[in-house]
Amino acid sequence: MERWKVGTMLSILALSIIPSFHLSAQTDARLVEALRLAQSGQVDSGRAIVRRLLASLSPTDSAYPQALLAAAKIAPDAKSVASNLNRIVVEYGAGPWADDALLLLTQLYFAQRDPVQTTQAAERLNRDYPDSPLRARANFSAARAYFELKNEARGCELIQQSLDGAGDDVEFKNQVSFYASRCSPASTTSATTTPPPPSPADSGTRPTPASHAYAVQVLAVKSAAQVDDMLTRLKVMGFEARVVRDSTGFFKVRVGRYATREEAVRTQQRLRTRVGGHPFVVEEP
């Protein structure tokens, strides 16, 4: 249990430093520099910049909520992350950063294994910011939380909304599709079905040789629960993970799709250090 607590805290800190997806871009050059320092390993320097900025700004300044968001991303503990994010939601709900804050709260609560607060944060995002492009990501976490709460109906509704909002993000769509398999086919086919590519005979051209890529395999199991846990850990650590299912029924959790083996090996080394286990490089068509 202690090992899980430590692992969860490290994951939360990684979430605050390196978001697992593109949030609304920070526009203040000072905050951009603070986050750059934090991402390069100089976390204390980044925090110092944000701390001084918050002390010098008036709470009515338009840069203040943006500074709170940066403070949350590089906060030293989960309590500080949640405090800064909740301030944005409560005090600056009409501003451009509130949906970012709610999304990070959704992921934070899900990483802490608090399904009730996860669903509350996501539902508030759905209710108050219906046009936000971040809803699909929040709904994915909320759907899994609803599954934990035995509310399959609402979970499947949010899975469908996540599929609808996935856009061209193939890896994210693959992750959502893994959970869509537990829902009725009628409710999840619209966003996952794509027309097949034209055959060589139709196009009148010869097929081009398939290009190969490299990925890092982290896990291969038949348990959906184990897959869920690993996807969550990787997501909050900033890794883009996906699930591949083979003909024997194994679910394989893989990270990345790299043009060269060298790139994959670098990610393999990072995964071995941060996640543990025995990740290995695989070649994909």
Cβ atoms of 146 and 155 within 8 Å: the answer is yes
| pLDDT, position 237 | 75
Ranges 131-145, 175-189, 234-248: which has the least confidence: 175-189
Torsion sign across C-alpha atoms 107, 109, 112, 116: negative
pLDDT above 60 for 138: yes
CA distances, 285 to each of 2, 40, 159, 161, 259 (Å): 40, 33, 28, 30, 11
Ranges 32-36, 103-107, 219-223, 235-239: which has the least confidence: 235-239
pLDDT above 70 for 146: yes
pLDDT tens-digit map of 181-223: 888 664 444 444 444 444 444 444 444 444 578 999 998 887 7
Task: Report yes or no on whether pTM surpasses 0.85.
Answer: no
Cα–Cα distance for residue pair 94/166, rounded to 1 Å: 25
Residue 231: CB atoms within 10 A of its CB come to 23
Cα–Cα distance for residue pair 202/212, rounded to 1 Å: 24
Ranges 11-15, 131-135, 211-215, 222-226: which has the least confidence: 11-15
pLDDT above 80 for 14: no
Torsion sign across C-alpha atoms 210, 216, 222, 223: negative
